Structure 1
Amino acid sequence: MEWIVAASVITMLVLSLLRVHVIFAIIISAIVAGILAGMNIQDTVEMLIEGMGGQASTALSYILLGVFAAMISYTGITTILVRGLIQVLTGKKTMLVLAIAGIACFSQNLVPVHIAFIPILIPPLLKIFDQMKLDRRAVATALTFGLKAPYMAIPIGYGLIFHETIQKGMSTNGVELSVSEIALSLLIPVSGMIIGLLVAVFITYRRDREPRQLLKINWHDQKEKDLAITFNRQHTFTIFAIFIALAVQIITESLVIGALAGIISMVIFFAVPLKEGDAFVQKGVTMMGTIAFVMLVASGFAEILKKTGAVDALVESSSTMLGQNHAIIALILLLVGLLITLGIGSSFGTIPIIAALYVPICIAAGFSPMAIAALIGTAAALGDAGSPASDSTLGPTSGLSVDGKHHHIWDTCVPTFLHFNIPLFIFGWVASIIL
């Protein structure tokens, strides 16, 4: 029976790498697992839908944060931030890259807009990058760091989704751990990402890089629009709404309630017009709906693997082969996690699948709960930075490539894979052994 897990996961990876949409890849792989276990397609699909309920709260959180992000973007407050950044840091390459990394970090926790800020922040800076001969690969690594490290380290905003998803995945498979303990377990892997960022900024991409001369874009019209935006009451109320959302989330420990508080505050303070509500919802669903649904379907896929008995068989066979050697077991599990997230391209969406595989194997091998959390969190993040289909790479490329001078694979995926996935793998492996 253990081969069913391998067959279904390999099916999912092959379909994902062939550019089949991840949702279809997971559904087809779930059906493959059910059929191989002797079930018919109808029963398999019913089990898939039943299992999707495990991530309903997380999916709703994503949608609401998407709506909140659309409202924040509507006010134009990020444009004012960009203008200030240009005035202060023009000519200071290293400081500019680190400032971009810092702003990206805010997008996951303090101001949970995810990748929505990149098309606003980056395009106006491209001409300055070229004038400074700044290597855009450094900017790509800075953006990806900000899109990944904060949600791994801090259980606020998207970080709360990430940590609660790990907690739920572990709990479903028999291991209880608090969100704060999960956050502690991931500090070692995240420190590897910090080292990777510093290496990229101060060593690998520190030298001047002559800008490519491919496309010319006239930013005159955009500059006029940007200059027309000045700080006003609308922006003040937007800041209030952001802090209200953050405070409510921390007090209630619910991202759904926090996001709702932010959305309601934006409307009550007249930071956004109520009549545009449908447009905000549509934009929010467009931005975050796919990720939310991937997580739902991934939860259903994990449920099928468990109920068919394939995971139990895999645990039994792996325990026989690997024994109690934690170093080798952790190494193999992280390699599996790397392959899965490279194929799917979503660290959040892979957690239910990874947890269903990892937790039983790690329990049988005698790993501590915090070591299991470190393995799941690291494996979920592995490949996310280097995957061509990941938000953590597509987001930076969307901003850096608008003038045709930035290649998605060689200028975003390869640099982020080298500087983040390698240290993540090493530090995550160490964490699983010492925790």
Structure 2
Amino acid sequence: MAWVVIISVLVLTVLCLLRVNVILSIIAAALSAGLMSGLSVVDSIEMMVNGMGGQAETALSYILLGAFAVAISYTGITTILVNYLIKALTGKKTMMVLAIAGVASLSQNLVPVHIAFVPILIPPLLKLFDDMKVDRRGVAAALTFGLKAPYVMIPAGFGLLFHQTIQDGMAENGVSITIGETALAMLIPGFGMIVGLLIAILVTYRKDRVAVPGAGGSEANFTAPPAEKVTFNRKHGLTLIAITGALIVQIITQNLIAGALTGLVLMFALVVVPFRKGEQVMADGVAMMGQIAFIMLVSSGFGKVLQKTGAVDALVEAASGFLGDNQALIALVLLLVGLVVTIGIGSSFATIPIIAALFVPICLASGFSTLATASLIGTAGALGDAGSPASDSTLGPTSGLNADGKHHHIWDTCVPTFIHFNIPLIVFGWVAAIVL
């Protein structure tokens, strides 16, 4: 039965790498696991659907945060930030890329807008990048760092969602852990991403580079949008109040849905966003985050199929017999499995339920501590997100950097982020699993 897990995960990975829709790939993998275990197609589908409820809260959080992001962008507050960056950092290449990494980091925790800021912030800066001969691969690394490292390390905003997903995944497989413990478990892997960022900006992509027209697959007739003269006004102040309110409620309740709802309600109650725009805000939020939310639901169902069919137990027995009690080797193998699975799925959040179903039994049988297990699950989930062609962490940066057709998604975003973040994550995640 151990081969059921291996083959179903291979089905998932190969289909995703062939650019088959992620949701369809996960469903195909779940059905293959059920059929190989002797279930009928109908029974496999019912088992998968019954297991989807495990990520319902997470999926709803994504939808509401997407709507909140749309509401914030509606106010135009980000234009002030763009103008400031142009004014303060022209001619300061390294500082500009580091500042972009810092701004991107705010999008996961303090102002949880995810990738919504990229098409607003980056296109107006492209001409400045060209004038300063900034290597856009370094900017891609900075953006991907900001879209990943904060949620990996900090349990707030999307970080709270990520850490709760780890917590729920472990709980569903018989291991209890607090959010504080998951944050502690992810500090060392997160530090690895900081090292990767510094290497990318200060070493690998420090030299001048001229962007090549058409490198992104098209000769885009792009003109940078003119800088708007926007001054801080009452609406922007009320937006900050709404953001602060959402953050406070989230911290007090430890519930991302409550925080997102608070932010949305305040945006409408304070008339920052007109009430008549409510339908459009929600529709745009669903459009931005809906697919990811549903991927998480379906992946939870896939993990449940693997559990209920007994395939995970069989894999544990086989792995224990093959790897013995060598924790260092087991940790490395598990991380590499996470790398392959996450590259295929393209979402660390959606991968966690699958990874947890596989890892928790193996870690328990191999004597890993609770913190080490959480570190392996979180790191394996984060692995591959950077570098995956289907990941928001790479698609988001490319959407902004290739607005003028001068940035290639694979070679200028995926390959640089894969090298500078996945390699450090493997090394530092492996160390965390050994020392915790």
Which TM-score applies when normalising by structure 2? 0.98
Give me the identity figure in percent.
65
Q: Cα RMSD over matched residues?
A: 1.0
Is structure 2 residue 432 aligned with structure 1 residue 431?
yes
Other structure's SS at 2:4 match: helix
Q: Partner residue of 2:186?
A: 186
Q: 1:216: how far off?
A: 6.4
Other structure's SS at 1:156 match: coil
Q: Partner residue of 2:357?
A: 356
Change (3 A) 1:41 1:218: closer
- TM-superposition CA deviations, 1:51-96 (whole Å, max 9, x none): 0000000000000000000000100000111011111111100110
Q: Which amino acid aligns with 1:97?
A: V
Give 5+ residue unaligned stretches, structure 1.
none
Other structure's SS at 2:386 match: coil
Distance 1:355 1:157 in 2: 22
Q: 1:317: how far off?
A: 1.2
Distance 1:216 1:305 in 2: 46
- TM-superposition CA deviations, 1:348-367 (whole Å, max 9, x none): 00000000000000100000
Is structure 2 residue 195 aligned with structure 1 residue 168?
no
- TM-superposition CA deviations, 1:30-66 (whole Å, max 9, x none): 0111111111111111111110000000000000000
Distance 1:216 1:163 in 2: 40
Distance 1:232 1:182 in 2: 40
Q: Partner residue of 1:123?
A: 123
- TM-superposition CA deviations, 1:152-176 (whole Å, max 9, x none): 0000000000000000000111111
Q: Partner residue of 1:322?
A: 323
Q: 1:218: how far off?
A: 5.3
Distance 1:61 1:392 in 2: 18
Distance 2:9 2:197 in 1: 31
Instruction: Determine if contact 2:211/2:407 at 8 Å carries over to the other structure.
Output: no
- TM-superposition CA deviations, 1:86-125 (whole Å, max 9, x none): 1111110011000000000000000000000000000000
Distance 1:101 1:217 in 2: 28
Q: Partner residue of 1:223?
A: 226
Q: Partner residue of 2:406?
A: 405
Is structure 2 residue 50 aligned with structure 1 residue 47?
no
Which TM-score applies when normalising by structure 1? 0.98
- TM-superposition CA deviations, 1:382-414 (whole Å, max 9, x none): 111010100000000000001011000110001
Q: 1:212: how far off?
A: 2.1
| 1:12-411 correspondence runs (5 A) | 12-214=12-214, 215=219, 217=221, 219=223, 222-223=225-226, 226-227=228-229, 229-411=230-412
Give 5+ residue unaligned stretches, structure 2.
none
Distance 2:349 2:377 in 1: 11
Distance 1:216 1:7 in 2: 42
Q: 1:233: how far off?
A: 1.0
Is structure 2 residue 16 aligned with structure 1 residue 11?
no
Distance 1:96 1:45 in 2: 50
Q: How many residues align?
A: 432
- TM-superposition CA deviations, 1:233-260 (whole Å, max 9, x none): 1111001000000000001111000000
- TM-superposition CA deviations, 1:273-293 (whole Å, max 9, x none): 000111000100011011110
Change (3 A) 1:425 1:236: same
Mean CA deviation greater in 202-211 or 344-353: 202-211
Distance 1:433 1:211 in 2: 43
Other structure's SS at 1:266 match: helix
Distance 2:370 2:324 in 1: 18
Q: 1:138: how far off?
A: 0.7
Q: 1:213: how far off?
A: 3.8
Distance 2:375 2:238 in 1: 39
Distance 2:323 2:195 in 1: 32
Distance 1:204 1:7 in 2: 38
Q: Which amino acid aligns with 1:115?
A: I
Instruction: Determine if contact 2:173/2:360 at 8 Å carries over to the other structure.
Output: yes
Distance 2:429 2:36 in 1: 33
Q: 1:217: how far off?
A: 4.4
Q: Which amino acid aligns with 1:136?
A: R
Instruction: Determine if contact 2:166/2:356 at 8 Å carries over to the other structure.
Output: yes
Other structure's SS at 1:223 match: coil
Q: Which amino acid aligns with 1:207?
A: K
Q: 1:7: how far off?
A: 1.1
Distance 2:16 2:298 in 1: 14
Q: 1:302: how far off?
A: 0.3
Distance 2:136 2:221 in 1: 17
Distance 2:271 2:85 in 1: 27
Other structure's SS at 1:175 match: coil
Change (3 A) 1:362 1:218: closer
Instruction: Determine if contact 2:71/2:267 at 8 Å carries over to the other structure.
Output: yes
